[in-house]
Amino acid sequence: MESVTTRVGSVQALWRYPVKSMLGEDLSAADITERGMNGDRTLALLDLQTGKVASAKNPRLWRRLLTLSAVTTDDGIRITAPDGTEISRDGLPDVVGRPVTLIAHPPPAASIDRADPDQVLRGGVDAEAALHAIPLPPGTFFDHSPLHILTTSTLHQIGALSPRGAVEVQRYRPNIVIQTDENGFVESSWTGRELAVGPELRLQITVHTPRCAVPTLAHGSLHRDPHALRVPAQHNRREPLPGMGLHPCAGVHAQVINPGRIVQGDDVLLD
């Protein structure tokens, strides 16, 4: 690999989501394997009626997942309600309002449903919106690649263009937040290139991250915010994959070339 020469920023924050579509945990350091961040999206809910993996990308069914928190403990993964009450596996169907079971291994040909984001913006999360089945990478609960990266420049840009004047990082569910000093959606120019994060970790930036209804939804104590999606829809439409068409995007996905441990403050270099 050619030497990486351009410093683009440093690691501001690290986020892990032990259960797909539930709130995650912020970390000061993380081990990144070829699978992604250690402990990230190791569990998910399976809808026993449809056979599909539960995802808040279908907000009519699954937006309640974003009211639940999942954290890693010495005894496994602890799921709690907004008031801090621990929820058992048997209690999950009552909380989410669907017959579900918590699984560690996706079924063959696992998929999630994704509501059309433009239709959600027009009609709201309870409106009828076209659903698209998204196949998950075999053996994982990831939407595409094992890591999701977002820059502070993109967050600042969305916030500046929003009537609220701000937007919260939690709405976009990144694994790695990179502190950058440039303006605009800077990581949109990184696709196809490599990042070096800290002394060991090397990443291949794969695609723009297409945004769905999730950023608009209530996340824990955060209220709904349609502008978290409307701003990218108006100002940063990209084509994540050839033939996919233009989608509102914020952030990028990445594959792991060389695993490594990273900590907050690590330099990030772009090749």
Predicted confidence band at 241 (pLDDT cuts at 50, 70, 90)?
Answer: confident
Q: Is 255 helix (H, G, I), strand (E, B) or coil?
A: strand
Burial per residue of 53-68, b for 16 or more beta-carbon CB atoms within 10 angstroms, e otherwise: bbbbbbbebbbbbbbb
**Residue 86 near residue 194, CB atoms below 8 Å:** no
At 248 the pLDDT is 95
Q: pLDDT digits over 5-16, tens only?
A: 799 999 999 999
**Is this prediction's pTM over 0.75?**
yes
Residue 3, pLDDT above cutoff 70: no
Quickly list DSSP for 201-248.
EEEEEEEEEE--SGGGS-BTTBPP-THHHHHHHHH-EE-SSTTS--EE
At 217 the pLDDT is 95
Kindly list the distances between the CA atom of residue 17 and the CA atoms of 21, 26, 66, 145, 178, in Å, as whole numbers in the listed order.
8, 9, 11, 14, 18
Residue 146 lies in a domain: yes
Residue 2, pLDDT above cutoff 70: no
Whole-number average pLDDT of the chain: 94
Q: pLDDT digits over 80-130, tens only?
A: 999 999 999 999 999 999 999 999 999 999 999 999 988 988 888 777 788
At 62 the pLDDT is 96
Average pLDDT over residues 73-82: 94
At 207 the pLDDT is 95
At 18 the pLDDT is 98
At 89 the pLDDT is 93
Residue 4, pLDDT above cutoff 90: no
Q: pLDDT digits over 166-200, tens only?
A: 999 999 999 999 999 999 999 999 999 999 999 99
Residue 236 lies in a domain: yes
Average pLDDT over residues 61-66: 95
Q: Which two tokens stand for residue 179?
A: 């502190």
Average pLDDT over residues 147-174: 97
At 242 the pLDDT is 83
Number of domains into which the chain is organized: 1
Q: Range with the lowest mean pLDDT among 69-73, 196-200, 237-241?
A: 237-241
Instruction: Note down the domain range covering 45.
Output: 6-270
Please list the residues that pair with 13 across neighbouring strands. Answer: 177
Residue 122 lies in a domain: yes
Residue 201 lies in a domain: yes
Residue 1 lies in a domain: no
Predicted confidence band at 1 (pLDDT cuts at 50, 70, 90)?
Answer: very low
Residue 41 lies in a domain: yes
CATH number at residue 152: 2.40.33.20
Average pLDDT over residues 143-169: 97
Average pLDDT over residues 146-153: 98
User: How, if at all, do strands 111-115 and 131-135 pair?
Assistant: antiparallel
